[in-house]
Amino acid sequence: MNDGENMATFDETNDNGVVAAVKDYMRLLEDGKAPSVEDFLAGHANIEEELRPALEGLAMLHGAGSPSEPSTTAVGPDAEFTAKPIGDFQIVGELGRGGMGVVYEAVQLSLGRKVALKVLPFASGLDEVRLQRFRNEAHAAAALHHTNIVPVYAVGSDRGVHYYAMQMIEGRTLADVINEMRQENKQGKSNDTRPMRDTVGAATTRSNNTTSMGTSMGRRRYYESAVRMAHEAAIAIEHAHQYGVIHRDIKPGNLLIDGAGKVWVTDFGLAHIESDTNNLTRTGDPMGTLRYASPEQASGNRMILDHRTDVYSFGVTLYELLTLRPAIEGEGFRELLNAVIEVDPPSPMSIAPDLPAELDTIVRKAIAKQPSERYATMKALADDLQCWLDDKPIQAKPPTALERLAKWRRRNSGLVAAAFGMLLIASVALLVTALLVWGEQRQTQLALDRETQQRELAEESFRQARAAVDAFSELSESELAYRAGLQDLRRTFLETSLSFYRDFLELRADDPALKSE
């Protein structure tokens, strides 16, 4: 089949009860009571022609609708599934399952080559949203041509079954490699003679030869090999970004490593094409693997995601590749979600003390919670990885004390808010207390001022009274002392003056100046 083959949905045949008949047959299949296709068609003779392709496809993919654990080795499919090719492709075995479809090993009949055939379960084809996402995945991957992106050969549908064919990559996922290395290190096995890339290349036939990190030489070789592989993947993701495609599901399980140790980026099932304006590309849906989702993707804040979400997911993947431990850990969904959004992972060097400081800085910058604090592009990240490989200074810098404080404030926003509230209350209380004290002091000062004023008035009155008495005494001495007829009057003035002086002494007994006078 050609790439441009019809991708029409089954909903377009929604007349004369076809969809209702298909759903009835689906329920019978799920209950294990489905008759043969021919028997079921006998009861719907009026729509047999339209219904037959749909029922054949549904019966063929009945097993693809239910989830199961992914398998890395091909397993035999149902006999009915292999009875007829899907378009130009003959199914050989099942490779794995995921939320967006089932991947089969198949043979392209016209060219006789092996391919990986991704098929959308028929039931999902009745859901326009899932069908559109499947189309997005196929078209996004088909539009990209890069040596580290799994190429798409064909896109089409047959008997109501939607599919697309990709290059068959003989190898394993990076998740498989990390898990195997984790087990090797737990068991204390060591093989420092070869770098990781060579070991991974031989892993398809010799699963025990995984490079350990047991010695300093082995660890250095491991880091170098891991960074080279990460650099290849980063360049491939940057290529996708240049064409307006955001992957949105970067994780170890979506990075394949072939027998030669080459990295392949695959599974564009959640890809966002920037030219696409429909709501399928917005956040708010539980999309991707939460452990590797960016904070903005996990929070569902309805903002349009940009390419920096891939920078974060790639950084989390690199973190796990270098330390053999997930960056985000949690027991349940809520704990995991909170860790993605709120909790900064431990620094890689705290887990792997021998990790070069430059790689620690690169990873920490890539997994910053705020998109503005990450690498602006995947190319910038790839450039820093290459600088480390070339023993050149990297552009990323460790966070300053102020930046660490800002991150701490964001991580502990509740505590900061509570502390700020307490500080505000304490400040208000202090202000009120200060105002009360100031008011009391002002009242006291006013009272003191009034008392001082009254005392000054009293002093002035005393001085005036004393001046008057002194004046009378002087007058009696100067004017009346030598006049015989006025002696009685003189005596009266002097006695009155003496009485005033005695009263002054009693009132001002504590005034030493008055006593001396």
pLDDT, tens only, 146-181: 999 999 999 888 877 888 999 999 999 999 999 998
Comparing C-alpha atoms, which of 167, 183, 141 is closest to residue 256? Answer: 167
Q: CA 126 → CA 4, 10, 332, distances in Å? A: 21, 6, 32
Pairing of strands 255-258, 171-173: antiparallel
In the prediction, which pLDDT does 54 show?
Answer: 67
Q: In what order do the strands lie in the sheet with 171-173?
A: 171-173, 255-258, 263-265
Q: Is residue 480 part of a domain?
A: yes
Range of the domain at 466: 418-516
Active site residue 285: no
Comparing C-alpha atoms, which of 325, 333, 413 is closest to residue 369? Answer: 413
Q: CA 53 → CA 13, 49, 65, 126, 441, distances in Å? A: 11, 8, 18, 14, 97
Q: Are 99 and 66 in contact (CB under 8 A)?
A: no
Q: Are residues 158 and 188 in the same domain?
A: no
In the prediction, which pLDDT does 215 show?
Answer: 64
In the prediction, which pLDDT does 346 show?
Answer: 93
Last residue of a domain, one of 406, 426, 450: 406
Low-confidence ranges of the chain (pLDDT < 50): 1-15, 63-77, 192-194, 201-212, 279-286
Q: What are phi and psi of 113, to 5 degrees?
A: -115, 155
Q: Is residue 5 part of a domain?
A: no
As a whole number of angstroms, the distance between CA 156 and CA 135 comes to 10
Q: Are residues 90 and 118 in the same domain?
A: yes
The three-class DSSP label of residue 141 is helix
Comparing C-alpha atoms, which of 405, 400, 335 is closest to residue 365? Answer: 400
118 is in an annotated binding site: yes
Q: Are residues 154 and 194 in the same domain?
A: no
Q: Is residue 280 part of a domain?
A: yes
Q: Are residues 511 and 378 in the same domain?
A: no
Tell me the pTM.
Answer: 0.64
Q: How many domains does the chain have?
A: 3
As a whole number of angstroms, the distance between CA 231 and CA 236 comes to 9
Q: Are residues 383 and 440 in the same domain?
A: no
Of 158, 176, 249, 360, the active-site residue reads 249
Q: Are residues 248 and 334 in the same domain?
A: yes
Q: Is residue 469 part of a domain?
A: yes
Q: Is residue 349 part of a domain?
A: yes
Q: Are residues 155 and 175 in the same domain?
A: no
